[in-house]
Structure 1
């Protein structure tokens, strides 16, 4: 298994996007078509410059968490990872 660079979840070796946060884990070399780790700048086979994907992990972390409107007389729970306010009966954060 690999570790996702964005959410730190364990992911299978053959999985391209992370199964948890959908961050790409591999990038295809435009020259030799080999699969490279997303953090590499050049292909490890042919050393060709890799074209970054449109949603790199660095760009995904800069996305702000949307806020939800506070309902009066309702206790909200804060997610420990992204600090979004969630319904107290929710088992998982609806953002991350």
Structure 2
């Protein structure tokens, strides 16, 4: 199993691309050679991220977002929780 994040992921719980268990591991995003910590949603294959537009919200209380285009790289900040049944510990 590869330890790579999905192609598209969102922090909005109403989105079909929301996955709580992956977000709990922490996702690192590099966009245009800079690390971003304010990404609401990303898509690696299409090359864009969505970031909040300050503290502005729509009439439903959701943050307004901007879609920025450019090269996107994503990684997990913490490894997956192991089940305790790893064979790597037995190897010497």
TM-score (norm 2): 0.21
Larger of the two Rg values belongs to structure: 1
Compare the two structures and name the one with the higher strand fraction: 2
